[in-house]
Chain A
Amino acid sequence: MDINHIQSAHCESGVIVNMLAYNGLKLSEPMVFGIGSGIFFIYLPFIEVNGVPVSNFRIWPGGIFSRSMKLIGAKVKTQKFRSVQKSMDVLDELLSKKIPVGVMCSVYYLPYLPDAYRFHFNAHNIVIWAKEGDEYIVGDPTLSEMKRIHKDDLAKARWAKGFPEPAGKLYYVEKMPEDTPELKDAIRRGIKRTLFLIKSAPLPFIGVKGICYLN
């Protein structure tokens, strides 16, 4: 498999950039973020995490992936599991077909990160490129180089508890569009949807109203 790891600033958009590039479509991270309507705003004063009210400026996890792939015209598949064994078997099977797989995981179980970064945060995304013996070759989009991770660590990371719960979630590109996608249309629809999401929510916590509310 011809692997070309591309480093990016953020995990979900980075995974998409890597998957598309592997399938012959080279898009920049900001382009993927835009087409996928990544920007968003939400402020939830009544939900506290570690004693701080929640505010967030991106769309929900998985949203950039599903939206950008849809607009580009790629067919994708997302799977969650009930058993650890099944989730690893499906991953191995996809890798044996040379399909790079995105997985949702907790950063706590990723040994290649500095200790200070390893807390129980479950919404990280990485690309699994291949398996060699008991180790997986992993492209963490935020890092400059690919890493290796033992299968036990990966299983733990994919089955972390807390919120959100990955439950072994994996996703991959099943089929790319036959013709080179018409980006103009995808970009226009991405912008339109972003505006819709941040402007038209009826609740005061979301979008532009949320920003005003926080102020």
Chain B
Amino acid sequence: MKKEDVPQDDEKIYENKFGPGLIKYAIDDKGEYTTVQSMGWEPEAIALKQALEEVDFKVTFALKEVREGRKSPIFYYMEKKLLDVGILAGYMNMWKWQVKRHFKPNVFNKLSDEILSKYARVFNIEVDDLTNFKQQ
């Protein structure tokens, strides 16, 4: 790709945090490779948006599950913080099956304060957000 053809699509999703842009390699007038700053690329922004929509979808589903009493708030916050069972188990220093068990509302209700505050630290929320789950 020629230097001047490098896409410069400024998209909201970058939040203006990349300044003049990220580096891409392109060809200059002499046919040699050089670096160019690119503001962004629309297809990439669309792919990112789609990934975020999928997260939203999972979070909405999790919220419904919690509200209808099938899952505990831990399940909701796992989705909300983009975690999965494996990573969450890593942070909790537990086995995956233990974390999965905590998704069950009746098991969740019996969890110790210690475990609840550990979850709250991992999710970067207050313990109250877990025990008095209302829905933000």
CB <8 Å contact, A115 and B15: yes
Least CB distance, B121 to chain A, in whole angstroms: 10
Residues of A near B13 (CB, < 8 A) are: 114, 116
Minimum-distance CB pairs A-B, first 6 = A161-B90, A162-B87, A114-B15, A9-B23, A144-B19, A116-B48
Compute the total of residue contacts between A and B using a CB distance below 8 Å: 50
Q: Is A148 an interface residue (CB 8 A)?
A: no
Q: Which residues of A contact B (CB under 8 A)?
A: 7-9, 30, 108, 112-117, 119-120, 142-145, 161-163, 165
Count of interface residues, chain B, beta-carbon cutoff 8 Å: 25
The chain A residue with its CB closest to the CB of B91 is: A161
| Residues of B2-22 contacting chain A, CB below 8 A | 13-15, 17-22
Q: What is the CA–CA distance of A142 and B14 in the complex, to the nearest angstrom?
A: 14
CB <8 Å contact, A114 and B86: no
Q: What is the CA–CA distance of A214 and B24 in the complex, to the nearest angstrom?
A: 27
Sample of 17 A–B contacts (CB below 8 Å): A8-B23, A9-B23, A9-B24, A30-B33, A113-B17, A114-B15, A114-B17, A115-B15, A116-B13, A116-B48, A116-B49, A116-B51, A119-B82, A162-B86, A162-B87, A162-B90, A163-B86
CB <8 Å contact, B22 and A9: yes
CB <8 Å contact, B18 and A143: yes
Residues of B near A162 (CB, < 8 A) are: 86-87, 90
Q: What is the CA–CA distance of A120 and B91 in the complex, to the nearest angstrom?
A: 12
CB <8 Å contact, B82 and A142: no
